[in-house]
Amino acid sequence: MNPDEFRRAGHAVIDWIADYWATLEHRPVTPADPPGTVASALPATPPTAGEPVGAVLADLDAIVVPGLTHWQHPSFFGYFPANTSGPSLLGDLVSSGLGVQGMLWTTSPACTELETVMMDWLAELLDLPPRFRSTGSGGGVIQDSASSATLVATLAALHRASGGRWRAAGIDRRYRAYTSVHGHSSIEKAARIAGLGSDGVRPIEADPETQALRPAALRAAIEADLAAGEIPAIVVATIGTTSTTAVDPLPEIGAICAEYGIWLHVDAAYAGAAAVCPELRWSHAGLEYADSYCFDPHKWLLTGFDCDAFWVADRGELIEALTVLPEFLRNAASESGAVIDYRDWQVPLGRRFRALKLWFVLRWYGAEGLRAHVRSGVALAARFADRLRADDRFELAAAHPFSLVCFRLRADDDTNAELLARVNGTGRVHLTHTRVAGRYTLRLAVGSPQTAERHVDEAWDLLAAAAGDLLTP
Ligand SMILES: *Cc1c(COP(=O)(O)O)cnc(C)c1O
């Protein structure tokens, strides 16, 4: 494909995406076809002769789009949002076009330096503690996901807890990780990969009212492990748990970690974005105790997947834990100590130029635009919660400080599961579920920049109508 062919096909693809976004609202949010529908519509073997891009676009419309769950749909309320935006897509396109590798500063200096500045910009936007900035002892890096951030934090924590021995010798003792029973599954996965095993993770009791980790239970677990000769390595606290957006009490947790010298990682994958708004920064109180912190701009900050923003307070510990220097990567810039080599801050060697999409997003929206987006999600969730509160058939299952509302019918689990199936079955909305205190609970999460009051109102109307049908004997 020469540059002129690319220009023509590229214009057609951008038009295709703009049309997709413009017509999204009129599509069913989720596909209805049975498993195998998409695969069976595709040829079993690749084409022998090349085909024009137009032929691929036609099959996109005919085969792929009907088989999609439309995550950018204004009535997609499932899981947590994973929203992209025009500026994010354009930044990503430039990154793909440049195709540079940013593993070392020297392999593409601007790739590293733009990322360092974007992470400092984000730290400024969220008002993170000064030690996370690259101008202090720490610094930020873009990971693919919050899961990778937790893994990298776990490795750095093992480096610290083993006094540096883990790097050469591997796991030689029983190291322990601690997180609330509502901590994300990626914490257990990181513990397995790092060699602690699932049994190395201590699930800490949460308050039944707030679903937040109980500091007294954390202290008791740490002391029991110490008494048994085990080594507490890392505590993962969550700002905005996946189930209900509970906020663990960082000031108390941080003081315990400081007392015992345990690495504190704070996982704010979804709710971290809220800190762009000063009125929501209460959720980050106590963050000055954290050794590392991450949030996903790819969830609620209009930056397309994948983009996790991860900071450490002491970049030296992270780099010592992860650096391996083969001869073919040796270079004068690295040896001068004056540059950042992000390969030492992550698991893979190679890395994309992901800072570009952040740069495009931050410049297009500005701090005010991002705040307006977060505030709109919070207000729409509050509007939905008000409807629920006004209807005696429903109850809220948890507080809704951000843009997630957890609720249920005052009825048994089966009835609530049937309620979810019925509203999702209309194809007009998509909600998901969780369990709160053992009980089946529906979740409505707002995040698309296209979501307006009418979409949330329609979700409510569908729920109220289905509730009427289900509760009528
Ligand atoms: C979504 C989520 C994760 C995982 O995010 P990825 O970026 O997909 O790995 C981790 N922790 C919490 C609290 C989450 O909500």
Give domain status of residue 95, yes or no.
no
105 in contact with ligand 1, CB cutoff 6 A = no
| Ligand 1 atom at shortest distance from the alpha carbon of 184 | 11
pLDDT at 174 over 80: yes
146 in contact with ligand 1, CB cutoff 6 A = yes
Domains: count for the chain = 3
Domain co-membership, 299 together with 369: no
Per-position DSSP letters for 306-371, written without gaps between them: S-EEEEES-HHHHHHHH----GGG--HHHHHT-S--GGGGSSSS----THHHHHHHHHHHHHHHHH
pLDDT at res. 329? 84
Give domain status of residue 441, yes or no.
yes
pLDDT at res. 337? 85
pLDDT at 418 over 90: yes
* pLDDT band (50, 70, 90) for residue 371: very high
What is the domain-level CATH number for residue 176?
3.40.640.10
Task: Quote the ligand 1 centre to 184 CA distance (angstroms).
Answer: 7
Distance CA 233, CA 172 (A): 13
CA 123 to chain centre: 17
Domain co-membership, 315 together with 376: no
Q: Are strands 175-180 and 201-204 parallel, antiparallel or unpaired?
A: parallel
Domain co-membership, 345 together with 392: no
pLDDT at 173 over 90: no
248 in contact with ligand 1, CB cutoff 6 A = no
Give domain status of residue 79, yes or no.
no
Provide the token pair at 88.
């994010």
Give domain status of residue 169, yes or no.
yes
At which of 352, 387, 402 does a domain end? 352
430 in contact with ligand 1, CB cutoff 6 A = no
Distance CA 300, CA 404 (A): 11
Quote the mean pLDDT of the chain: 96
Domain co-membership, 131 together with 272: yes
Provide the token pair at 267.
């996982």
Domain co-membership, 231 together with 108: yes
Give domain status of residue 394, yes or no.
yes
pLDDT at res. 192? 97
At which of 22, 47, 67 does a domain end? 67
Q: Helix, strand, coil shares of the chain as percentages rounded to 5?
A: 50, 15, 35
b/e map 171-195, b = 16+ CB within 10 Å: eeeebbbbbbebbbebbbbbbeebe
294 in contact with ligand 1, CB cutoff 6 A = no
Note the pLDDT tens digit of each residue in 258-309: 999 999 999 999 999 999 999 999 999 999 999 999 999 999 999 999 999 9
pLDDT at res. 472? 82
Domain co-membership, 347 together with 388: no
Provide the token pair at 420.
């979810």
Domain co-membership, 281 together with 430: no
Give domain status of residue 74, yes or no.
no
Domain co-membership, 202 together with 348: yes
pLDDT at res. 336? 86
Give domain status of residue 76, yes or no.
no
In angstroms, the first-to-last Cα distance of the chain is 65
Domain co-membership, 257 together with 302: yes
At which of 307, 326, 352 does a domain end? 352
Domain co-membership, 467 together with 322: no
Task: Quote the ligand 1 centre to 290 CA distance (angstroms).
Answer: 18
Per-position DSSP letters for 64-84, written without gaps between them: IGGG---TTSTTB-SSS----
Q: Which domain holds residue 414?
A: 365-471
pLDDT at res. 327? 84
Q: What is the mean pLDDT of residues 53-72?
A: 96
Extended beta strands in 226-270, E state: 231-238, 263-267
pLDDT at res. 134? 94
CA nearest to 203, candidates 434, 195, 191: 191
What is the domain-level CATH number for residue 436?
3.90.1150.10
Domain co-membership, 331 together with 396: no
Q: Ligand 1, from 296, 301, 308, 402: best to mutate by most atoms within 8 Å of Cβ?
A: 296
145 in contact with ligand 1, CB cutoff 6 A = yes
* pLDDT band (50, 70, 90) for residue 328: confident
238 in contact with ligand 1, CB cutoff 6 A = yes
188 in contact with ligand 1, CB cutoff 6 A = no
Integer-rounded Cα Rg, in Å, for the chain is 24
Distance CA 154, CA 190 (A): 7
Domain co-membership, 341 together with 447: no
Distance CA 438, CA 434 (A): 9
310 in contact with ligand 1, CB cutoff 6 A = no
Note the pLDDT tens digit of each residue in 12-28: 999 999 999 999 999 99
What is the domain-level CATH number for residue 12?
1.20.1340.10
Provide the token pair at 277.
């708004």
Asked if residues 112 and 102 have their Cβ atoms less than 8 Å apart, the reply is: yes
CA-CA-CA-CA torsion for 333, 339, 342, 344, nearest 10 degrees? 70
| Ligand 1 atom at shortest distance from the alpha carbon of 144 | 7
Q: What is the mean pLDDT of residues 255-259?
A: 98
b/e map 368-404, b = 16+ CB within 10 Å: ebbbebbbbbbebbeebbebbeeeeebeebbbbbbbb
Give domain status of residue 73, yes or no.
no
pLDDT at 86 over 90: yes
Which backbone phi and psi does 334 adopt, to 5 degrees? -60, -45
Residues contacting residue 330 through CB under 8 Å, at least 6 positions apart: none
pLDDT at 473 over 80: no
Task: Quote the ligand 1 centre to 239 CA distance (angstroms).
Answer: 11
